[in-house]
Structure 1
Amino acid sequence: MKKIIVSAVVLVSTFAFAQENDTIKSNNIEEVVVNGKYYKKYVEKEGSSSMRLDEELIKIPQNISIITNAALADQQVTTLSDGVLRNVAGAQRLEHWGDMYTRVNMRGSRAAAFMNGVNVTTNWGPLSEDMSYVDHIEFVKGPSGFLMSNGEPSGIYNIVTKKPTGKNFNGSARITLGSYDLMRAETDIDSKINDKVAFRLNLMGQNKNSFRDYEFNDRYIINPSIKVKLSDKTTVIAEYLYQKAKMSEVGSAYVFTFDGYGTKPSSYTITDPGIDPTKVDNHTVNLNLQHQFNKYWKLTAQVSYINEYTLGSDIWPGMYQGNYMLRSLYHWEADNTMKFGQVFLNGYEKTGNVSHKILAGLDLGSKSYLADWNQGGMLDRYNATNDFTLDPDYNYWYNVNTHNYDINGSNPYSGPNNGYPAFNGTTPLSQRATPGGYIKQNYSGLYLQDELGFFDSRLRLTLAARYTNVNQNDYGTSKKADKITPRIGLSYSLDSNTSAYALYDQSFVPQAGFLRNNGSIKPITGNNIEIGLKRDWFDGKWNTTLSLYNIIKNNELTTDPNNTLNERYSLILGRTRVQGIEFDLKGQITKGLNAILNYAFTENKVVKTNTPEYTVGDRIAGYAKHTANGWLNYTFTEGQLEGFGLTFGGTYLGDRSTWTWGTDGALNMNDYVKFDAGMSWENTRVKLNLNVFNVFNRYLYSGSYYAWGGYYYYQAEAPRNWRFSIAYKF
């Protein structure tokens, strides 16, 4: 761990003597200094080119929220699972597999994960995105036909990576220390070789333990990119991202108990110190070409390749004997390969007094996931003769009543009494994975949109349609589906800073599964109706968005509650409806005061049922009816305290729905309330930042009732903890 700190110090020392530029630049620290007054960029007026729309957000008939790098840096966010979602109304993280990947739910279902405009969502991924290579994050609420139609109608989030700017030498370095032996160093170098070639390099190394024993998460990132200006009209950007993660096994964050939620100390774990770490290697290559035919027409083409290899394990309850849980450990080897190609054309024309903003695009994608999780066995062994009386041969049991390991005091712990299961990887993964560990999807999509502008484009009518064809194989079941999904939007500028909009959009999700009657399974169809009001205040220094939406989903599958342990049958639920209200405010309210405030009301329930197991009015899993977030940052801009800042933030989740469908007799989760606070000091080169999270040391968790096992499982969050960072801009 010390090597990381030493390396970072060397980087800072070296760069201190590097070329300097008198102009203060916006980069990793995302600060702009104008006449000695500090301005933090919490607001973006336009999305990235990877979002394809090529228009100011206030004119787009949809709720789109952007989280800037400045906000991420102030909040000392390290990964997507690390507090990012507080910045977006109604978005929340559901517990699943610790910090390995982040499942984001909003508007009643999982939001698809995008990176630079391509859909990298998989059943078990992507690897939770690290903020060291992130320029900003775009959240698009509701169906997003201009990016995809074959996905949940809740929306998407798009990770936009840092790319060369073409400016002179520009960069930053940062060291972060924190609770649980957190040591993290990162650097961002942005420069140009000449007027035609620019490059950027992001490096990150992290060692981090946990408030739970034997749990850790170490990560390393190398992210070079190059931008080449082939001509005055053509530019190519090539980017490579390598991520290496080494962490405790999947499942180490879970608590399993018959007693309900929050019954054990937050430090409690069922993991074992002798289990080999889980290792993930991720390689991502992206090549983007943009050609500007003239000032009205632009062509963008992009190809992406992603390969993620995982070798690790998963700990979970194997069986119960009376009050004792015997743990099982299963090895997990997986190869996840994705290939994408896309080309789209943006253009502008006028016919009489009507303007046309045209978008036409073609998407091709292939995803292949191979996994072997069949090798493993019990870590613990039941001694029926002694009825759990411990002896030197049987010295390690897990007691469900006391929720503790019982270790024979006369013998030091030397590993689980049944030993660690062996792993055999001599047979190729492609043979071990099929059919139960094989997921494959090929898709193609064609999109066409015309935004018609009337009255000097004050009134904008969007007419669009997307044709998508999907061929999918899930664990041995194959499905094909294709569909044309329309999109109609209307946006009107009440003045130059205010717009009202309405939207109708569709999506569909191919499904694969088994019905007891051997019936056919149709894709999920999602219909979204949304209205909203957007406004920029005080020359765009801060903005607000208010939206109301209604999403109908048809033909959704759910697990058959009558399944035995080895059955995988599903039920066709019928129709569900999610509706809600969302409000977002972000930006500089007054000089020195920046705010991010949001609230969402969400209601997701069954409105038509095809099965007696679920009735009209039943709640759908995975959301909170009320979510509210706040983040306030005040920086003194003059006087003796110039550069000194204070921060306060909070998160509230009320009336939470558990991960799975509601079960009779299951307990409800408590409301979630968390507060954070911090202070900082900065000048044009240096920033010191201290944040304390969960200030009031509340017991925070999320989880569900597991009907098959008859117990509850949940994940606790960290108690009060802190982070301190030193950043230098050169």
Structure 2
Amino acid sequence: MKRFSLSMLLALHAFFAVHAGDIKGIVINNTGERVAFATVLLKGSNTGGSTDNRGQFNLHRVSPGKYTLAVSFVSYKTKEMAIEVSSSNETIVVDTIILEPNSQQLNEVIVVGNSSTYTTRNPSSSIRLNQPLLKIPQNVQVISSQIMADQQIVSMSDGIARNVSGVTKLEHWGDSYTRINMRGSRASAFREGMNVTSSWGPLTEDMSFVDRIEFIKGPVGFMMSNGEPNGIYNVVTKKPTGQTKGAASFTFGSYDLYRTTLDLDGKLDKSGRLLYRFNAMGQTTNSMRAYEFAKRYSIAPVISYQLDDNTKLTAEYNYQYMESSNIGSYYSFSPDGYASLPQDYSILEPGLPSTVVNDHTFILNLQHDFNKNWRLTAQGAYFNYNKEGSSIWPSSLAANGDLVRKVSIGDAINEMKFGQVYINGKAQTGLVSHNVLAGFDTGDKHAWYDWSADQSHNLDSIGTYNIYNTNYTGGKPRYGYPTFDRSKSLKERANLTQVTQSYIGLYLQDELGFFNDQLRLTLAGRYTYVKESSYGTTKTEDRHFSPRVALSYSLDKNTSIYTLYDQSFSPQMGTLRSGKKVSPITGNNWEIGLKRNWFDNRWTTTVAAYQILRNNETASDPTNKQGVETFLVQVGQSKVKGVEVDLIGEVIPNLSMTTNYAYTDYRVTKSVNEKSPVGTRLAGYAKHNFNIWLEYKFTQACLDGFSLSLGQNTQLDRSTWNWGNTANNTASLPDYFRFDGAIGWQKNKLKLAVNIYNLFDRYLYSGSPYETYYYWQSEPPRNFRLNITYNF
């Protein structure tokens, strides 16, 4: 009997799979503009969907019969029309559906998926909060892959910062790693929920295999392992979707940029239990600076297997390769102040050895659903970063511009291992609901470096190279090129230049819901044990408990307010001049905020105000001998306070926007060092930061398929990298204004886009005073990228 029933089911499935039709159409409003994300339903059936961003819909495999097609959208009258699907396998193209405005709001709107490709309803599972973003009592901003595609962002260090309030990118060693600052100081770098922050490595992520980037403001140590109290950014990679699809792209740009990517997504078996995702990228580029270049490629295969109805195993591997010119080439140096040299100035020589990086990541993730309310997640990862190269920095710089360039060995190995187990669950006790998170994580980081002083080489003698001698054409430097001794392995050479850290953590959170979850009280805590050593210091151990309390309230289904208090714990690497190890940073955060989703999540807004106290703050010892000493000084306590406003999404039909503003103030409040008295302004932020990105998609007549974008980034009252001391004006940076634009065209599966950066061709840079001179890194003048993408 069972066999007969199964045969009948298969036969019926086969019949309706063949004898079914598709229904296609376009939805516009009364002014002729296409309506994106309108709800489309066949009344009396389970078949439905929504229009895409060009107002088109396609209902697949509709069984034969007569239906009423209903189309609805906020502020418009529902439009209904009769549809009949015959028994033949056909595609029905309905007449253009015109929606008329309604003075009254629709009583009910059925939402299918997200309403904008810019907005996101839920965070990734890797940050472990099993809640929509609207209900999370913290400022969390998500940058989607669509935003990155529209802005042609190709790496983590390439324009991401503009999309989140108060986030800035400071100068760094090439594109080998990214330093992101927010709420006054460095944000911890995470990959899939694991803290990969380090002085060197992993290699900054290429966006070809990245799905989204999540910015979590404020302390998150209670669940995400020890991290800075100002927040983290979490890079989420692409995973299989179960759909068979693909995309290939080619990018050409200024300075001989050539880049190609491939994204394949599909099934490896007919049942759909074994899925894959494969991303690959190849890129080569030169620079506005002479002799500067970079070659990169990456592969990122992912396989997921549904072991049974409740258990899924995902295996992920990322490999990134980079070969580049000397990583110090981005810097300019002058005794006469910022921007006193040409924007394309270069200190490189054509014969200097290049830097090569090999970066490997393995991640294994297991998810098991005990039932619809409880899920267990276990994750293990191994990161391996290997760099062989050199850096360049002044050995001396005289007031007349005579520069002695010193090239030092710059090899590094960074190995990281992580293990995580956590459980998410929901329960009910009487009238109180519980959203529970509990977990355990462990990590081990070990880095080996060789930038020893005896492995350095002066290219020049005093007077043979001058920064103002514009007739200098390179060639062989006065003392020739360096040769480094790598006869021993790096791990053998890295005697006193090792950094190790291992930790374990236990955490528990319960979000109690009252009045049908309208009011939510969060109680959480984390216990962390960590031991570490750095640069030959004795191993130290620290233990810390970090509490967290939050209260959030839903004013309606689209609006919530919250208040939050939590703490963080972050061990610090480095030593004082006395030989003592620096104390770990402890911090606490007060935050209040308001979140709202507008028009069925077409656009969202967040307003937050915060104050963070950081204990045991450190800064670079200003008496360090350049290029030789790396001692720190203990500042004491600092306070950063500010206000953040974010708006993202489609504010009106066809107009998408990402805009934000942040006010930040960061100063010493308790001092244990005379070199940084109370009131001293600390480094690494802009007091006022405003960004906007607008994209308008045309849907009418001959302009149908075209898009136009404009964006700007403003940073006012910038403090410098080093101290940010306002005692004299020479330490501050000038205000920063950058404007970008883009034009695009899309037709079916083909998309073309041209992005122009630094439209007004300004001399843009960041930098700092350094002993008797200034250094800075300049951005390119006006430049462009042309991208062609084909989806299949």
TM-score scaled to structure 2, two decimals? 0.84
Equivalent residues of 2:201, 2:385 under 8 A apart: no
Q: For 1:302-356, what per-residue CA distance to the aligned partner results, in whole angstroms no more than 9, with x for missing partners?
A: 1111111101110111124663111110122211111111010000100000000
Between the aligned partners of 2:669 and 2:763, the Cα distance in structure 1 is 35
Equivalent residues of 1:257, 1:403 under 8 A apart: no
Is 2:750 the partner of 1:671?
Answer: no
Match of 2:250 in 1: 175
Match of 1:76 in 2: 152
1:639 to partner: Cα distance: 2.4
Equivalent residues of 1:546, 1:582 under 8 A apart: yes
Secondary structure of 1:555 counterpart: strand
5 Å-filtered alignment, 1:189-338, equals: 189-194=264-269, 195-320=272-397, 323=400, 324-338=402-416
Is 2:413 the partner of 1:344?
Answer: no
Is 2:443 the partner of 1:365?
Answer: yes
Match of 2:645 in 1: 583
AA matched with 1:132: S
Between the aligned partners of 2:304 and 2:277, the Cα distance in structure 1 is 9
Secondary structure of 2:134 counterpart: helix
AA matched with 1:370: W
Secondary structure of 2:426 counterpart: strand
1:98 to partner: Cα distance: 2.1
Match of 2:702 in 1: 640
AA matched with 1:431: E
AA matched with 1:177: F
Of 227, 239, 243, the residue aligned with 1:163 is 239
Q: For 1:691-729, what per-residue CA distance to the aligned partner results, in whole angstroms no more than 9, with x for missing partners?
A: 11100001100000012xx11000000100001111011
1:288 to partner: Cα distance: 0.5
Q: For 1:158-182, what per-residue CA distance to the aligned partner results, in whole angstroms no more than 9, with x for missing partners?
A: 1110011112x20111111110000
1:376 to partner: Cα distance: 3.3
5 Å-filtered alignment, 1:470-549, equals: 470-477=530-537, 478-515=539-576, 521-549=582-610
Of 195, 201, 205, the residue aligned with 1:129 is 205
Between the aligned partners of 1:329 and 1:415, the Cα distance in structure 2 is 14
Is 2:135 the partner of 1:59?
Answer: yes
1:574 to partner: Cα distance: 1.5
5 Å-filtered alignment, 1:427-506, equals: 427-435=488-496, 437-477=497-537, 478-506=539-567
Equivalent residues of 1:480, 1:510 under 8 A apart: no
Secondary structure of 2:201 counterpart: coil
AA matched with 1:661: W
Equivalent residues of 2:349, 2:475 under 8 A apart: no
TM-score scaled to structure 1, two decimals? 0.91
AA matched with 1:135: D
1:568 to partner: Cα distance: 4.9
Between the aligned partners of 1:119 and 1:240, the Cα distance in structure 2 is 17
1:406 to partner: Cα distance: 4.2
Deviates more, 1:146-155 or 1:334-343: 146-155
Secondary structure of 1:457 counterpart: coil
Equivalent residues of 1:255, 1:715 under 8 A apart: yes
Distance 1:457 1:201, change over 3 A: same
Secondary structure of 1:70 counterpart: helix
Between the aligned partners of 1:147 and 1:207, the Cα distance in structure 2 is 39
Equivalent residues of 2:569, 2:585 under 8 A apart: yes
Between the aligned partners of 1:429 and 1:713, the Cα distance in structure 2 is 30
1:426 to partner: Cα distance: 1.4
Between the aligned partners of 1:524 and 1:559, the Cα distance in structure 2 is 15
Deviates more, 1:419-428 or 1:108-117: 419-428
Equivalent residues of 1:399, 1:405 under 8 A apart: no
1:417 to partner: Cα distance: 1.4
Percent identity, please. 49
AA matched with 2:638: T
Q: Which segments of 5 or more consecutive residues in structure 2 lack a partner in the other structure?
A: 1-21, 26-36, 38-50, 58-95, 97-113
Between the aligned partners of 2:655 and 2:410, the Cα distance in structure 1 is 48
Between the aligned partners of 1:471 and 1:514, the Cα distance in structure 2 is 15
Between the aligned partners of 2:197 and 2:583, the Cα distance in structure 1 is 21
Q: For 1:619-651, what per-residue CA distance to the aligned partner results, in whole angstroms no more than 9, with x for missing partners?
A: 000000000000000001232211111100000
Between the aligned partners of 2:461 and 2:580, the Cα distance in structure 1 is 43
Between the aligned partners of 1:603 and 1:65, the Cα distance in structure 2 is 21
Q: Which segments of 5 or more consecutive residues in structure 1 lack a partner in the other structure?
A: 1-20, 389-396, 408-412
Between the aligned partners of 1:473 and 1:345, the Cα distance in structure 2 is 32
Between the aligned partners of 1:261 and 1:442, the Cα distance in structure 2 is 41
1:373 to partner: Cα distance: 1.4
Question: In angstroms, what is the RMSD of aligned CA positions?
Answer: 2.1
AA matched with 2:415: T
Secondary structure of 1:213 counterpart: coil
Between the aligned partners of 1:239 and 1:31, the Cα distance in structure 2 is 31
Choose 1 or 2 for highest CA Rg.
Answer: 2
Equivalent residues of 1:143, 1:149 under 8 A apart: no
Between the aligned partners of 2:147 and 2:580, the Cα distance in structure 1 is 50
Distance 1:719 1:31, change over 3 A: farther
Distance 1:662 1:405, change over 3 A: farther
AA matched with 1:180: Y
Match of 1:5 in 2: none
Secondary structure of 2:669 counterpart: strand
AA matched with 2:456: G
Of 608, 611, 624, the residue aligned with 2:670 is 608
Q: For 1:187-227, what per-residue CA distance to the aligned partner results, in whole angstroms no more than 9, with x for missing partners?
A: 10000022211111101000111111111121101111111
Match of 1:184 in 2: 259
